[in-house]
Amino acid sequence: MTDHRQTPKSAYMSSGDMLLIVNDALLGDAAELYIAVGLDSRVTAFNGHVDLGTGIRTSLAQIVAEELNVPFEHVDMVLGTTSVAPNQGATIASETIQITALPLRQAAATARQHLLAMAAEKVGVPLDRLRLEDGIIRADGGENWQLSFGDIVAGSHVRLSIDSHAALKPASDYTLVGSSRPRVDIPDKATGRWTYVHDVRVPGMLHGRVVLPPYAGFDHGDHVGKSLISIDDASVAHISGIVSVVAIGDFVGVVATREEIAIEAAKSLKVVWRAPPEWPDLNMPEKALRANPSTPRKLADRGNVDMALAGSTQPMNRTYVWPYQMHGSIGPSCAVADYNEDGLTVWSGTQNPFPMRRDLALLLDMPEEMIRVERMEAAGCYGRNCADDVTADAALLSRAVKAPVRVQLTREQEHAWEPKGAAQIMDVRGGLDLEGGPSAYDFETRYPSNLAPTLPLILTGKVPPVSDVVQMGDRTAIPPYAYGNLRVTVHDMPPIARASWFRGVSAMPNTFAHECYVDELAAAAGVDPVEYRLRYLHDPRAVDLVNALTERAKWVPHTTWGTLGGEGDLFYGRGFAYAVYVHGPFPGKAAAWAAWVADVAVNKKTGEIAVTKVTCAQDSGMMINPDGVRHQIHGNIIQSTSRVLKEKVEFSSTAVQSKEWGGYPLITFPEVPAIDVLMVPRQDEPPLGVGESASVPSASAIANAVYDATGIRFRELPLTPELVLAALNGKMDEPPAAPPAKKRNWWSIGLSAVGAVAALSGIVTMASPWRPAIGTIQRPNADVYSTATIERGRLAAAAGACNVCHVGNDGTPFAGGRRFDTPFGAVYATNISPDAQSGIGAWSYPAFERAMRAGVSRDGHHLYPAHPYTSFAGADDADLQALYAYMMTQAPVDEKAPETKLKFPYSIRAMMAGWNALFLKAEPFQYVETRNATWNRGAYLVETLGHCSACHTDRNLLGAEKSGSARLSGGFADGWEAPALNAFAKGPVGWTADAFYDYLRTGHARDHGSAVGPMAHVVEAMQPLPDSDIRAMASYLASLNEGKEPADPSAQSEAAIAASDEAKVSAALISPKGERIFNGACATCHTGNTILSSLALNSNLHAVTPDNLLQAILNGVEAPAILAQTTGREAPEVMSMPAFRETLNESQIKDLADYLRARFAPDKPAWTETTKAMERVTAASY
Amino acid sequence: MTLPVCFSLNVNDAVESVEASPETPLLYILRNDLSLNGPKYGCGLGECGACAILVDGRAVRSCTVPLGAIGTRRITTLEGLGTPEYLHPVQEAFIDEAAAQCGYCLNGMIIATAALLNRNANPDEDAIREALRHHLCRCGTHMEILAAARRAVAYAKAERTYRSTPDGVSPKAAKEVSP
Ligand code: FES
Ligand code: FES
């Protein structure tokens, strides 16, 4: 399968030496293939269902090998591929083994019967003397001959219909079925040799990405397919490698030669959409589901429910709420499509190859026969994810560019758009009768439909975006107990959010209600919950199962909660639940029976629930592969525990908001419970589906255990710490609000234009605004400067980090054009390359020096103090001359930078004359005799060329650096806070000369974190400076907090880390959502034994405002190794911090920032202006 | 995205040349330019671990590593850890425990376990769970993965008695050793 294509059916049909077992031989070549036996004696078996990661490939091969008496290794399974496998519908509801394996087994028996008959004929031995073992046919008399399958099929093409009378092997003779065969796929998967759909590469393949509309996760309503207003092709014109931008209705996609280019293009493409419509609040789904129009369907009505309800001695009416949840495949969906004149081939991870082919035919207006679906394995999906959607995406893009296209959905897209497991509301009316028995059970369940159409069909307008109602809320809606007065009603309703079936479909919520309610009845009746159930449970297999489980789990009967006590902050509890999962259209078929005993510990301080152990018993009928069944049970237990404790999709009023694993957390290894599985041996019974059953009792078993621990009934999921804590406390106290800390920065002071103008115009009268122009010159010849001068100039440029501001937008050195947002308007850096027209090539040295020291351009106009001439004023003549020489020898760039146009009155540059009169002190740097030369060199670099104060000093109303104690006490630059460099530094560990040195040299200091944003570029720009200069700067900077040097930095850092550990619990209480996002999105790098410094030491978390933190979260942070490379040093960390701008929304980032502050800077007041800071940061251009 | 540049990478003990923009996440280079299937795309955000590789023996998430950051460091992917004929002890342990359902997370789990063994030859249960904490598995294969990690500790120990190989290919040894 090197080209990832299965041999098509036609090849089997035309092969000369071949035995085929088909559904109906009379259909000729159109017959469906089940078994093929070839010359090599190998058996190929075909099944329409696919392996969704459950190991079904192995189990089916076992069934075939068993029935045919061939070695297991001689069987190859082909699953789902439309060009050869039979159409057996979608792989759902755990029915592969229970239903679709049956014809396969019969086909294998047919083949065996035929092969034996042919052998008998060939060798003239009566059938009853022939034996078939290990794929070899012999006579039992010990004659000296044997026949392989290949010997028999050689020379003829035989095609037989499945013979429904072919004798099946009795189960008692099974050797392979019922034994645990190792999975056939794992060795390749463990060594990277397996080909998932994500790994399909075909010649000439291009890469596509889709751009999805803003109504993320909602797929019906008039706006669907009609929301696109415009696409700005120019927005991606600068990206080379884009092959096409495709738009059809609301379907938008890009195709590029390389994957990273497609990603960049999808990100940059400017698409304007109509505002999406608003939906009812689905975060609290009860109201929305009750308001959703529905049709009641009565499934059961026995006894006299109304009368019994009226007669209840203790009425108990309860409502249970299930949230929207995600399938959450670990690999976002992916597909490859190849559209050409011969038709369409798609490589797809679909769960439904045949139904999807129908959709593709509809989408592309082509006959189904021209479409070939090569079914490849994908990440587990537990229901339907975006696999079909992405296949259709790829098909559309391939058709547009007439080449094979691979489309990979992003994590955000899969999260937002995967059809969710629907929310559900269950109401139970009932109560106890006089004897403590259940008086009546009046059950109503509301389940929004789950038939999400394949997305591109509705985005392109091929099918109308109307919501079909399906009857799927009825799974396991009938309770397993013999309630005398029973009424069960399901309210069928259209979808709200885009939904599809998800493991356990509606059965898991329905059972949550059934099994919690019966527990409540038992508690109210004062009876042990298991005993109470057994009174009304009459199915003998169920009773056996429950008894086996309670024995295994050493269940101790009890009639009240709290019998297990607790210790410290923990309460212990134990809960029971049972279910037989009934799936398929009502009344449905039973899959395996399952029951749980869950042990929990509930922390009364934090509200956290630990599921410490799950004991699970399951009756699966015959188990084809017991290890496979055990793994399925484990998987169900762990996944459902995760769903119960943690999982809930968050919505805004228009779209899904959970777009990564921090916002939608899954269970992690430390939280996984101990598991004990009891598999009831029933090898003589028919096999039952095992893919979902063990999930079904989960929620009720855990909720019942929490009741047993705390006496509190939870009827809503997930059981998050905040929900539990609120219930434990009656009402959770408001988190302590810290007093707001205010530091004014130079733009947040509502700068009154009037006042500022008044101040400035007062000055104007005092200072002459006009400066003469200085004449132009010929650009000086490069060879008039000595190499030494140019080198000195290069170092001066490095110390001044000129290129950080004056770099061109495309990275060209000194080309200018970068935009800086100031409170007075946008200032653009000028072109300072030696181009005569656009740059400073025509400037004489006096003109250059005047600009550097006095802030006056060659033509006499004043520069804004974004250019730090107030610092440069003190520089050595020799340095400025060398800098001039260096600049003049650089490559000229003939491109004008945009002109700075400030709003009136700041546009009057002449006002700067007055400003200068106030703030420009043009004194040369003074050598301080009492200090050594290193210190003086450092001071010179920091205060003049280095112009550190330009960013690290707060500015006054007029944008001038403040003086006195404000000097180097921290300021703002380019949307970042530039922290204090002196004793006012806010980090928990004081800055030493060594720390400054590390930071300036490598961009990273162990106790302070990494240089990011503009500072990262400064570090990079200073790379040419010799170590001695960096040392000098470090020594000067360290002297700024002389007298307050850290006594012992490592003690300080240890203390800060200890404080952050201690603050773990309180921070989680302050921002539980923030904690979850931290754990899911950040903690992988920012905890434990990573080589990054702890966030507890990171200055940004200790800063007065959250600006720098927000910058990092929104825009990411470059890998320290990159910065270190440019500085010629080693820094081990090669990972960058990703940008979360597109992934986390504002409230998630705020929750996260609140948590981080409380956790890592516990001694600092909470940030109060995070929202404002977010506005500042998102507005800044950096 | 800046212009493509030529890089030479040290991948699975071979020198490979690629040309791409330095910002390109290494994951795409490994998968698309070098046709390696081990590292998988799961989130692109450093959250799930599906894309893990070893860099100088340490596990990193290749979706967040810019091509330009890697320099001459040694990259090992699942393919380079061992082959079906010469399995790395961790791979062997995962196969013996059948520690996969869909297997999409398997790359990250094996790489993380190998990296753990590189820095701690004798991890206890807590250390194993902690090392895997930020590797997500949706299939709920955690039990089998934990068993495999425990078994890997034993295999690696047995193998060390034959010879010491830091994280390289090793002969199929220690098969009989049970953890
Ligand atoms: S894909 Fe890299 S961590 Fe998820
Ligand atoms: S085995 Fe499927 S995600 Fe882990």
**Backbone φ, ψ for residue A235 (5° rounding):** -65, -15
Distance, in Å, from the CA atom of A698 to the CA atom of A392, rounded to the nearest integer, reads 36
Answer whether A1174's CB lies under 8 Å from A1150's CB: yes
Whether the per-residue pLDDT at B150 is higher than 90: the answer is: yes
Render pLDDT for A736-745 as a digit per residue (tens, 0 to 9).
343 343 333 3
User: What is the DSSP code (8-state) at residue A1106?
Assistant: S
Chain A residues whose beta carbon lies within 8 Å of the beta carbon of residue B35: 201
Greatest CA separation for chain B:
53
Per-window interface: B 148-177 vs A, CB < 8 A:
none
Answer whether A457's CB lies under 8 Å from A547's CB: no
Our mutation pick for probing the ligand 1 site, out of B45, B104, B105, B135, counting the most ligand atoms within 8 A of Cβ, is: B45
CA atoms within 13 A on the CB side of A419: 29
- A74 three-state secondary structure: helix
Q: Where, residue-wise, is CATH 3.30.365.10 in chain A?
A: 9-191, 197-277+333-408, 285-290+422-729
Beta strand pairing status for A609-619 and A674-679? parallel
Beta strand pairing status for B58-61 and A1009-1010? unpaired
Q: Which of A599, A595, A597 is nearest to A609 (CA)?
A: A599
Indicate which atom in ligand 2 lies nearest the CA of residue A329. Answer: 3
- The alpha-carbon gap from A139 to the nearest alpha carbon of chain B, in Å, equals 38
User: What is the DSSP code (8-state) at residue A383?
Assistant: B
Q: Which of B17, B46, B40, B10 is nearest to B28 (CA)?
A: B40
- Give kind and range of the element (H or E) at residue A447: strand A438-448
Q: Is B102 an interface residue toward A (CB < 8 Å)?
A: yes
What is the Cα B38 distance to its own chain's centre? 8
Distance, in Å, from the CA atom of A1142 to the CA atom of A1048, rounded to the nearest integer, reads 42
Distance, in Å, from the CA atom of A988 to the CA atom of A1057, rounded to the nearest integer, reads 9
Q: Is A765 an interface residue toward B (CB < 8 Å)?
A: no
Compute, in degrees rounded to 10, the torsion defined by CA atoms A986, A1181, A865, A1008.
20
> In which residue are the tokens 């991890």 written?
B123
For residue A618 the two structure tokens come to 């399951």
Our mutation pick for probing the ligand 1 site, out of B26, B48, B60, counting the most ligand atoms within 8 A of Cβ, is: B48
- Which ligand has the nearest atom to the CA of B134? 1
Q: Is B110 an interface residue toward A (CB < 8 Å)?
A: yes
Q: Is B53 an interface residue toward A (CB < 8 Å)?
A: no
Q: Which of A513, A292, A329, A489 is nearest to A421 (CA)?
A: A329
DSSP letter string, B23-37: TSBHHHIIIIIS---
The hierarchical CATH code for the domain A197-277+333-408 is 3.30.365.10
Q: Which residues pair with B10 in a beta bridge?
A: B15, B74
Q: Which of B45, B145, B46, B60 is nearest to B103 (CA)?
A: B145
Q: Residue A744 has what pLDDT? A: 36
CA of A350 to the centre of ligand 2 (A): 17
For residue A214 the two structure tokens come to 């803003």
Compute, in degrees rounded to 10, the torsion defined by CA atoms A1096, A1099, A1103, A1107.
-110
Q: Is B142 an interface residue toward A (CB < 8 Å)?
A: yes
> In which residue are the tokens 């169920």 written?
A542
Render pLDDT for B8-44 as a digit per residue (tens, 0 to 9).
999 999 999 999 999 999 999 999 999 999 999 999 9
Q: Which of A462, A456, A333 is nearest to A397 (CA)?
A: A456
Q: Residue A673 has what pLDDT? A: 97
Which residue numbers in chain A have pLDDT < 50? 1-2, 731-767, 1182
DSSP letter string, A1075-1095: HHHIIIIIHHHHSTT-SSPPG
Other CB atoms closer than 10 Å to residue A755's CB: what's the count? 11
Q: Is A636 an interface residue toward B (CB < 8 Å)?
A: yes
Q: Is A627 exposed, middle or buried (0-12, 13-18, 19+ CB in 10 A)?
A: middle
> In which residue are the tokens 């299930």 written?
A322
Q: Which of A1029, A1020, A1037, A882 is nearest to A949 (CA)?
A: A1037
Q: Which of A1027, A1020, A1016, A969 is nearest to A993 (CA)?
A: A1027
Distance, in Å, from the CA atom of B51 to the CA atom of A686, rounded to the nearest integer, reads 41
Q: Residue A214 has what pLDDT? A: 97
Q: What angle do CA A42, A48, A52 make, to 5 degrees?
A: 95
The hierarchical CATH code for the domain A9-191 is 3.30.365.10
Other CB atoms closer than 10 Å to residue A471's CB: what's the count? 16
Scored b (16 or more CB within 10 A) or e, A553-583 reads bebeebeebeebebeeebbbbbbbbbbbbbb
H helices, E strands: number in chain B: 6, 5
> In which residue are the tokens 């091509």 written?
B67
ipTM: 0.93
Q: Residue A946 has what pLDDT? A: 87
Q: Residue A927 has what pLDDT? A: 85
> In which residue are the tokens 């001038």 written?
A960
Write down the pTM of the prediction: 0.86
* Assigned CATH topology for domain A285-290+422-729: Aldehyde Oxidoreductase; domain 4 (3.30.365)
For residue A617 the two structure tokens come to 């018993």
* Sequence-distant (≥ 6) Cβ neighbours of residue A454 within 8 angstroms: A356, A359, A363, A388, A389, A392
Question: Do A1134 and B55 lie within an 8 Å CB cutoff?
Answer: yes
Report the pocket of ligand 1 as residue ranges, CB < 6 Å: B 41-44, 46-51, 61, 63
Distance, in Å, from the CA atom of A850 to the CA atom of A858, rounded to the nearest integer, reads 8
What is the Cα A704 distance to its own chain's centre? 31
Q: Residue A761 has what pLDDT? A: 43
For residue A960 the two structure tokens come to 């001038």
Chain A residues whose beta carbon lies within 8 Å of the beta carbon of residue B110: 190
Nearest chain A residue to B38 by CA distance is: A192
Q: How far apart are the first and last CA of chain B?
A: 49
Answer whether A349's CB lies under 8 Å from A323's CB: no
Answer whether A982's CB lies under 8 Å from A757's CB: no
**Backbone φ, ψ for residue B26 (5° rounding):** -55, -35
Indicate which atom in ligand 2 lies nearest the CA of residue B140. Answer: 4
Q: How far apart are the first and last CA of chain A?
A: 50
Q: Which of A129, A23, A34 is nearest to A84 (CA)?
A: A34
Distance, in Å, from the CA atom of A893 to the CA atom of A813, rounded to the nearest integer, reads 9
Chain B residues whose beta carbon lies within 8 Å of the beta carbon of residue A632: 101
Residues in chain B, overall count: 179
Distance, in Å, from the CA atom of A138 to the CA atom of A156, rounded to the nearest integer, reads 21
Whose C-alpha lies nearest to ligand 2, atom 4? B137
Q: Which residues pair with A270 in a beta bridge?
A: A232
- Which ligand has the nearest atom to the CA of B107? 2
Q: Is A965 exposed, middle or buried (0-12, 13-18, 19+ CB in 10 A)?
A: exposed
CA of B26 to the centre of ligand 1 (A): 11
